[in-house]
Amino acid sequence: MTLKKHIPNIVTLLNLFCGCIAVIFAVYNNFVAAAIFVFLGIFFDFFDGLLARKLDVQSPLGIQLDSLADMVTSGLVPGIVMFKLLSIALDTPYFIESSDVWSSSVHWTGFKISWIPLIGLLITLASAYRLAKFNIDEDQQTYFKGLPTPANALLIISLPLIMEFQNNDVMNATILNKWFLIVFTLVSCYLLNSNIKLFALKFKDFSFKVNAVRYIFIILTLVMLVLLHFAAIPLVILSYVILSLISSSLVKK
């Protein structure tokens, strides 16, 4: 029994471990490797809760540990990725020799950090706030209030993957536009902490009537991924929000 109760927590720690590795890769601009470990972390994040329920070993410790792991994998990593993308868009080195440009940078001895890329770290702050709210909200059992941090991490990490694998000049120019990235960051922060009720992909049974919105979403997701590859991820998130709004509206009626 002692070992069984620790199994979900071990899986959660694997999520955290993947997040730590993803941070290292993201710092060194290896976005593909960072994305792989974010995907792995989210995989472990999905299964730790499932294991806890199946083994009947859910605990307050597990809940807190899960949020701490998510803070790294789905909070810190996307913030760093956005910081890096903004730095690339501005053609700004992250740490360079001190210069005379005092108006746009914060200087210390020997190097500077341009302040505009730091806007990307708002994603990390918004993720922390969202996770803290989730931990004290007892209503979010069958739905999410605001975009879950793993979904937001996938949204952010999709941007460098689109540039890497789809290599479309229009897409690349759009993604590396500083105003696009700033607006994208602000929208991400809003979605994380909005009051929009988003359905959870939890099936109590498999009837179409009860789970129509879930089946429609899964089918749309598969079709878009086949047709658009990584460019489908932002559209998948958008469809998730739209279908949730439609579902909530129908329920109210």
Q: Which of 35-39, 51-55, 138-142, 158-162 has the least mean pLDDT?
A: 138-142
Q: Indicate if the pLDDT at residue 228 is higher than 80.
A: yes
pLDDT band at 144 (very low <50, low <70, confident <90, very high): confident
Domains and CATH numbers, the chain: 2-91+125-195 (1.20.120.1760)
pLDDT exceeding 90 applies to what percent of the chain?
58
CA distance 15 to 83: 22
111-114 and 197-199 strand pairing: unpaired
Q: Is the whole model's pTM more than 0.75, yes or no?
A: yes
In tens, the pLDDT along 61-94 reads: 878 888 999 999 999 999 999 999 999 998 855 4
Distance CA 176, CA 78 (A): 16
Handedness of CA 143, 149, 152, 154 (dihedral sign): negative
* Residue 239, pLDDT above cutoff 90: yes
Chain-wide mean pLDDT for the chain?
A: 86
CA distances from 184 to 93, 109, 155, 181, 236 (A): 22, 33, 10, 5, 15
pLDDT greater than 60 at residue 58: yes
Torsional sign, CA 175, 159, 81, 156: positive
Residue 74's identity, in one-letter code, is S
Output the CA torsion 133→84→30→171 (10° steps).
100
Dist. CA 33–CA 45, nearest whole Å: 18
pLDDT in tens, 92-134: 554 434 344 444 555 555 556 678 999 999 999 999 999 999 8
pLDDT digits (tens, 9 = 90+) for 165-179: 988 899 999 999 999
Instruction: Note the pLDDT tens digit of each residue in 35-54.
Output: 999 999 999 998 877 777 77
Identity of residue 118: L
Q: Report which of residues 204 and 127 the model is more confident about.
A: 127
Backbone angles phi, psi at 199, to 5 degrees: -65, 150
Least confident of 99-108, 176-185, 188-197: 99-108
Confidence (pLDDT) at 101: 43
- Dihedral pair phi/psi, residue 77, rounded to 5°: -60, -50
